[in-house]
Structure 1
Amino acid sequence: MLLWILTNSETMDSHGDRDRSSERVGMVLVVVSAVGFGTLAVLGELAFAAGLNVPSVLALRFALATLLVWAVLVARRRRAGASERLRLRGRLLFVAVALGLVGYTGQSALFFWGLEYLTAGVTTLVLYTYPAFVLVLSALFLGEPLTQRRLVALPLVLGGVALVAGVDPVGVSSVGIAIVLGSAVVYSGYIVVSRVALADTDGLVLAGHVLPAAAVSFFAYGTTTGSLALPATPSGWFTVVGIAVLATVVPVVTFFGGIRRIGASRAGLVSTVEPIVAVVLGVLLLDEPLPPTTFVGGALVLVGVWLIHVESR
């Protein structure tokens, strides 16, 4: 059933249907994606509580996600016909593997490392500064202009993080903030490089090559350091499967399905619910604090991100 839903989210709009019904479906798909990504930090905290370490969680996350994404790709190919190319070659293959070994590996490792210092809500809010870094990198390397609205958005985003980090110390570590900001910077580089690569391939096909490369990285690190371990309890396995399915495969596939219907800019706007989901789940499921300064700082981040996406329309 899950495989059928994921496959259809990618193929239903193959004939370019852009009517209102299709747009509503696109909105729903992107909301599902944002909610899925928003669960990652909370599930990460639950994985730590179950006794799992970062290399083990991420190795299993990307291994399971690889199997599911390739199952979706094969099913989609059968529906669309055998002409669709699933394997990348040459420069694209090199870029995809590099994105997995360096980009996704670095971003995920720093995110989960920062999660050991911060609450799930604060971790996700700080990571969500990445659109600001994407703007800077795009201006430096892709020649995209820094318009007046974007120049307003940048200090809003960074000022919001400063407010979260510096005014109220509840649940906040300066070391954790620095680590997750590093994750946001790495993620922005990953996005900029992916944007170039996606000009020549499908997003889900690219993900099918990025994910196994990231899995190899964490399996290699965990094996070398002797830190790799399987979950010892049913709750540990449940959490890992949740991270792989709910927080990785479902949001990746539904996001691409949503983009097909409503476009990247509108999808980016809808995705701003992601950190809100993380904060709310952290408060409800983990009893995390939500002081006024975190709320105000988070609002500034979201307003800045909103300005960035509106400018892109």
Structure 2
Amino acid sequence: MERADHQRATGAKRESSRTDPVYEPAGQPACMDEETVGIGLVLTAAVGFGTLGVLGVLAADAGLSIPSVLALRFAIASILLWTILWYRGRLQLLRGRTLAVALGLGAVGYAAQSGLYFLGLEFMTAGLVGIVLFTYPAFVVGFVLLTHPDRVTGTLLAALGCSLGGVALITGADPAGADPRGVLVVLGAAIVYSGYILVSQRTLASVDAETLTAFVLPAAAASFVAFGLATDTLAAPANATAWGVAIAIAVVATAIPVLAFFAGLERIGASRASIISAAEPAVTVALGAAVLGEPITVVTLLGGALVVGGVVLVQRERA
């Protein structure tokens, strides 16, 4: 990004827009193709992340502890990503403050969010955990409202209302199953995740998404290896089924969606990306019902429709 004068100029323009919590047209609208790609990438990430709850339940059923499955998740995903970057000739090293931030995002931010998410699966169904996590757009947009209120449009607020309304409706469909301990744990994950998103967006002003991800993932893996060793809860999968679930979590629910989300975040900003990602709980609810036999009701379907409505509103905002 800083190898030539024209590249530096381009990077400076990107930085000025990426550090905004929400991209808004200021004179010239953003490239529609870029926004279309960004929306598609974040939706792809939402589908991938939406598989995580169901796979997490299957991992527990296969006898994997939380530190074990998450250490494997991030370690396998790290190996996959570094191999891809090396093969494509895009392997880069980070230094100084950028390296410290990337490692902190992984070892603290992403590790904490993931650990709390999987802990929540011990108290609630995969669908409910996925839904409660999606209170996080409220924290993201709330932060934007406090710091940059002029950058939040009416359409974004309407989309947020649809998304959170859908979350509330789906949660209300099974209040008995919403264990208060699980709700508190997953709300903690949502708060951590909102901060993770905002810091990630600012970091992407100076480093590309693939490189940042390549350092976030192994840092998260190291956290869970250290925690597992300290608590004597780290163990390798005992059979082929456990290995299969661990690999699926690493590839389908981690490497692919993390890359897609970071790339989409670069293009459309934190608030829009977080609202579009509200498609994730609908995926989790559907998979929970199909794979795990978790209950699903008409109210749940209506809530899912509201979540998708938020995505549609964001697509209209790009015009």
CA separation in 1, counterparts of 2:298 and 2:55? 24
CA separation in 2, counterparts of 1:111 and 1:309? 28
Deviations 1:226-273 (A, max 9, x none): 01111112111110010001111122334456678xx43687776543
One-letter amino acid of the structure 1 residue matched with residue 221 of structure 2: A
Contact 2:278 2:307 in 1 (8 A): no
Q: What is the aligned partner in structure 1 of residue 27 from structure 2?
A: none
CA separation in 1, counterparts of 2:313 and 2:186? 22
Q: What is the aligned partner in structure 1 of residue 66 from structure 2?
A: 54
Deviations 1:172-197 (A, max 9, x none): 22221221121111111000001110
Among 225, 249, 273, the residue aligned to 1:243: 249
- Relative to 1, partners in 2 of residues 1:303 and 1:89: Cα closer, same or farther, differing over 3 Å? same
Identity, % of aligned pairs?
Answer: 50
CA separation in 2, counterparts of 1:160 and 1:284? 20
Q: What is the aligned partner in structure 2 of residue 4 from structure 1?
A: none
Among 126, 131, 134, the residue aligned to 1:125: 131
Does the alignment pair 1:185 with 2:191? yes
Q: What is the aligned partner in structure 2 of residue 252 from structure 1?
A: 258
- Relative to 1, partners in 2 of residues 1:269 and 1:177: Cα closer, same or farther, differing over 3 Å? closer
Task: Write the mapping of 1:70-85 to structure 2, written as runs, cut at 5 A.
Answer: 70-77=82-89
CA separation in 2, counterparts of 1:203 and 1:45? 29
Q: What is the aligned partner in structure 2 of residue 197 from structure 1?
A: 203
Q: What is the aligned partner in structure 2 of residue 102 from structure 1?
A: 108
One-letter amino acid of the structure 2 residue matched with residue 52 of structure 1: L
298-307 vs 105-114, which deviates more?
A: 298-307
Secondary structure of 1:290 counterpart: coil
- Relative to 1, partners in 2 of residues 1:42 and 1:167: Cα closer, same or farther, differing over 3 Å? closer
Q: What is the aligned partner in structure 2 of residue 89 from structure 1?
A: 95
One-letter amino acid of the structure 2 residue matched with residue 264 of structure 1: I
159-168 vs 110-119, which deviates more?
A: 159-168
Secondary structure of 1:179 counterpart: helix
- Relative to 1, partners in 2 of residues 1:27 and 1:136: Cα closer, same or farther, differing over 3 Å? closer
Q: What is the aligned partner in structure 2 of residue 286 from structure 1?
A: 292
One-letter amino acid of the structure 1 residue matched with residue 257 of structure 2: P
Contact 1:128 1:301 in 2 (8 A): no
Aligned residues: 287
CA separation in 1, counterparts of 2:79 and 2:111? 18
Q: What is the aligned partner in structure 2 of residue 232 from structure 1?
A: 238
- Relative to 1, partners in 2 of residues 1:196 and 1:310: Cα closer, same or farther, differing over 3 Å? farther
268-277 vs 236-245, which deviates more?
A: 268-277
Gaps of 5+ in 2: 1-30
Q: What is the aligned partner in structure 2 of residue 11 from structure 1?
A: none
TM-score of the aligned structures, taking structure 2 as reference length? 0.78
CA separation in 2, counterparts of 1:195 and 1:144? 19
One-letter amino acid of the structure 1 residue matched with residue 137 of structure 2: P
Q: What is the aligned partner in structure 2 of residue 264 from structure 1?
A: 268
Q: What is the aligned partner in structure 2 of residue 113 from structure 1?
A: 119
TM-score of the aligned structures, taking structure 1 as reference length? 0.79
Secondary structure of 1:34 counterpart: helix
Contact 2:279 2:311 in 1 (8 A): no
Deviation at 1:145, TM superposition (A): 3.7
Contact 2:47 2:279 in 1 (8 A): yes
Q: Provide the aligned C-alpha RMSD in A.
A: 3.2
CA separation in 2, counterparts of 1:153 and 1:267? 11
One-letter amino acid of the structure 2 residue matched with residue 44 of structure 1: G
Gaps of 5+ in 1: 1-17, 78-83
Deviations 1:31-56 (A, max 9, x none): 54332221111100100111111111
- Relative to 1, partners in 2 of residues 1:35 and 1:193: Cα closer, same or farther, differing over 3 Å? same
Secondary structure of 2:175 counterpart: coil
Among 46, 55, 76, the residue aligned to 1:64: 76
Contact 2:213 2:259 in 1 (8 A): no
- Relative to 1, partners in 2 of residues 1:252 and 1:241: Cα closer, same or farther, differing over 3 Å? same
One-letter amino acid of the structure 1 residue matched with residue 52 of structure 2: L
CA separation in 2, counterparts of 1:309 and 1:185? 25
One-letter amino acid of the structure 1 residue matched with residue 55 of structure 2: L
CA separation in 2, counterparts of 1:133 and 1:203? 23
117-126 vs 221-230, which deviates more?
A: 117-126
Deviations 1:263-307 (A, max 9, x none): 436877765433222111111110000133433444444545655
